[in-house]
């Protein structure tokens, strides 16, 4: 074989292996680990809810798909449909709060109504409340 | 005097109606698909649901971005390629229990119901009839259902190669635990 054929074959092989590895990496890509990820915004539950209530469009553009570190007081801890659980944070509004879904690896018995906590999660948007998913606890002050 | 009578009657209706409305903001909707090539499961624990026991009306609302997959890439494709959740962030169902008379909301028990209404996914609205159960418990009401939907009915286009990995029918599971709306 001529040298340039060898080189060409080698290049094709490298590209193919690279492609397979990249594909496998993407396929097995994990969700952002919110317990260690750097937050895009630090905000209180009250301010976050108010921003969505005042201007949903602007708040959506600012927060959706971003990692938020949110502080607030626990209004309720609710077991959700499967093994996850939701923590609802109090805001300035009676009707609307910040609802945070924790993965099944969390322990709901750690949390009590009235606890002041800081958590990190990915913002999904606004329904009647601001919704955060994939949440992790950052700090808790009882 | 007559006016007072009507005022009392009116207030009575408001209070009575309030006691008949139930709600949750922590409802669950999940979907599941299994083929020989792939198993797909997504969970949403942030579903808002309301039930009016006097009329049998049921409303559900969910954010598409609140559906959580095990694989991050799958969640990304679901949002960006198939559901276009930036353009169509919400899914809504509005309907009515058609056999309301067969449910005794005063008596604990599980009742089979059929709910008919409009289901909006991906900005496409279809009339659907869904079977489920209403479970009357002390202090609340649970609603459960399992039904199938076909993505193509909602103009969700899945390219051929990927389509084979996803079951033609997606199985949807709904689990709601309602509490009465208390009057302030």
Cα separation values, A113 from A123, B46, B110, Å: 22, 19, 31
Contact assessment for residue B164 and residue B125, using Cβ atoms and an 8 Å cutoff:
no
pLDDT band of residue A22 (cuts 50, 70, 90) is confident
Contact A82 B43 (CB under 8 A): yes
B92 CA: distance to closest CA in chain A (Å): 11
When pLDDT is averaged across residues B67-89 and rounded to a whole number, the result is 94
Residue A41 burial by CB count (10 A; 0-12/13-18/19+): exposed, middle or buried?
middle
Extract the tokens encoding A85: 């659980």
Q: Which of B41, B45, B74, B87 to mutate to test the interface with A (most CBs of A within 10 A)?
A: B45
Residue B11 lies in a domain: no
- Mean pLDDT check: name the lowest of A39-48, B32-41, B87-96: B32-41
pLDDT at B46: 95
Mean pLDDT, chain B, whole residue set:
90
Which of B141, B147, B142, B143 is closest to B173 using CA atoms? B147
Answer with the residue of higher pLDDT: B8 or A9: A9
Residue B11 clears pLDDT 90, i.e. is over it: no
Centroid of chain to Cα A63 = 11
- Mean pLDDT check: name the lowest of A32-46, A77-91, B23-37, B91-105: A77-91
- Mean pLDDT check: name the lowest of A23-27, A96-100, A116-120, A136-140: A23-27
Residue B1 lies in a domain: no
Contact B72 A31 (CB under 8 A): yes
Residue B143 clears pLDDT 70, i.e. is over it: yes
Q: What is the DSSP letter of B102?
A: G
Residue B9 lies in a domain: no
Residue B3 lies in a domain: no
pLDDT at A27: 80
Which of B143, B178, B156, B179 is closest to B91 using CA atoms? B156
Contact assessment for residue A98 and residue A86, using Cβ atoms and an 8 Å cutoff:
no
Using a CB-CB distance cutoff of 8 angstroms, which residues of chain B are in contact with residue A88? Answer: 25
Contacts 24+ apart (CB under 8 A), B106-113: B106/B136, B107/B136, B108/B136, B108/B137, B108/B138, B109/B135, B109/B136, B110/B134, B110/B135, B110/B136, B111/B135, B111/B136
Q: How far is the C-alpha of A21 from the C-alpha of A105, rounded, in Å?
A: 29
Contact A128 B48 (CB under 8 A): yes
Contact B43 A124 (CB under 8 A): no
When pLDDT is averaged across residues B112-124 and rounded to a whole number, the result is 97
Which of A94, A100, A96 is closest to A68 using CA atoms? A100
Looking at the complex, does the CB of residue B144 fall below 8 Å from at least one CB of chain A?
no
Contact B28 A134 (CB under 8 A): no
Residue B140 lies in a domain: yes
For A25, nearest residue in chain B (alpha carbons) = B73
Task: Give the domain extent around B41.
Answer: 20-180
Residue B184 clears pLDDT 50, i.e. is over it: no
The pLDDT tens digits of the residues spanning A57-75 come to 999 999 999 999 999 999 9
Q: How far is the C-alpha of A134 from the C-alpha of A112, rounded, in Å?
A: 20
pLDDT at B14: 53
Q: How far is the C-alpha of B99 from the C-alpha of B111, rounded, in Å?
A: 10
Q: Name the domain count of chain B.
A: 1
Q: How far is the C-alpha of B161 from the C-alpha of B93, rounded, in Å?
A: 31
Torsions phi, psi for A71 (to 5 deg): -110, 140
The partner residue sitting opposite B66, judged by closest CB among A26, A28, A131, is A131
When pLDDT is averaged across residues B54-76 and rounded to a whole number, the result is 95
Residue B160 lies in a domain: yes
Contact B25 A64 (CB under 8 A): no
Residue A118 clears pLDDT 60, i.e. is over it: yes
Task: List the CATH number of the domain containing B176.
Answer: 2.40.128.110
When pLDDT is averaged across residues A78-103 and rounded to a whole number, the result is 88
What percent of chain B is modeled with pLDDT above 70?
A: 89
Residue B178 clears pLDDT 90, i.e. is over it: yes
For B62, nearest residue in chain A (alpha carbons) = A127
Using a CB-CB distance cutoff of 8 angstroms, which residues of chain B are in contact with residue A81? Answer: 27-30, 43, 45, 175
Instruction: Please report the number of interchain residue pairs, chain A to chain B, with beta-carbon separation below 8 angstroms.
Output: 71
Residue B15 lies in a domain: no
A28 CA: distance to closest CA in chain B (Å): 7
When pLDDT is averaged across residues A96-104 and rounded to a whole number, the result is 92
Residue B97 burial by CB count (10 A; 0-12/13-18/19+): exposed, middle or buried?
buried
Residue B2 lies in a domain: no
Contact A101 B62 (CB under 8 A): no
When pLDDT is averaged across residues B163-175 and rounded to a whole number, the result is 92
Please count the helices (runs of H) and the strands (runs of E) in chain A.
Answer: 3, 6
Helix axes A45-54, A56-63, angle to 10 degrees: 130
Q: Are β-strands B124-137 and B109-121 bridged in parallel, bridged antiparallel, or unpaired?
A: antiparallel
Torsions phi, psi for B85 (to 5 deg): -70, -15
Interface pTM (ipTM) of the complex? 0.85
Contact A82 B28 (CB under 8 A): yes
For B173, nearest residue in chain A (alpha carbons) = A81
Contact B90 A129 (CB under 8 A): no
pLDDT band of residue A83 (cuts 50, 70, 90) is low
């Amino acid at each position: 074989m001529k040298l340039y054929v060898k080189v060409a074959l080698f290049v094709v092989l490298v590209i193919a292996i690279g492609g397979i590895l990249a594909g496998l990496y993407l396929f097995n890509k994990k969700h952002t680990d919110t317990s260690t990820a750097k937050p895009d915004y630090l905000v209180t539950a009250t301010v976050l809810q108010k921003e969505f209530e005042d201007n949903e469009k602007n708040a959506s553009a600012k927060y959706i798909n971003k990692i938020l570190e949110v502080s607030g007081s626990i209004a309720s801890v609710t077991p959700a449909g499967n093994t996850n659980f939701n923590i609802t944070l109090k805001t300035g509004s009676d009707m609307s709060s910040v609802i945070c879904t924790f993965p099944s690896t969390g322990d709901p018995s750690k949390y009590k109504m009235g606890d002041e906590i800081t958590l990190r999660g990915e913002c999904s948007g606004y329904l009647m409340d601001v919704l955060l998913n994939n949440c992790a606890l950052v700090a808790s002050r009882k | 005097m007559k006016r007072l009578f009507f005022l009392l009657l009116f207030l009575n209706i408001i209070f009575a109606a309030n006691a008949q409305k139930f709600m949750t903001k922590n409802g669950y909707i999940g979907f599941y698909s299994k083929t020989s090539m792939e198993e797909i499961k997504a969970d949403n624990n942030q579903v808002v649901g309301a039930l009016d026991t006097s009329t049998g009306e049921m409303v559900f609302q969910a954010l598409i971005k609140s559906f959580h997959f095990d694989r991050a890439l799958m969640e990304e494709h679901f949002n960006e390629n198939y559901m276009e959740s930036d353009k169509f962030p919400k899914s809504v169902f509005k309907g009515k229990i058609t056999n309301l008379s067969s449910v005794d909301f005063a008596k604990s028990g599980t009742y089979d119901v059929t709910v008919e209404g409009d289901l909006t996914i991906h900005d496409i609205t279809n009339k659907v009839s869904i079977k489920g159960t209403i479970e009357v418990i002390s202090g609340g009401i649970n609603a459960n259902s399992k039904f199938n939907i076909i993505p193509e009915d909602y103009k969700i286009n899945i390219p051929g190669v990927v389509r084979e990995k996803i079951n033609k029918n997606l199985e949807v599971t709904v689990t709601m635990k309602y509490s009465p709306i208390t009057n302030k």
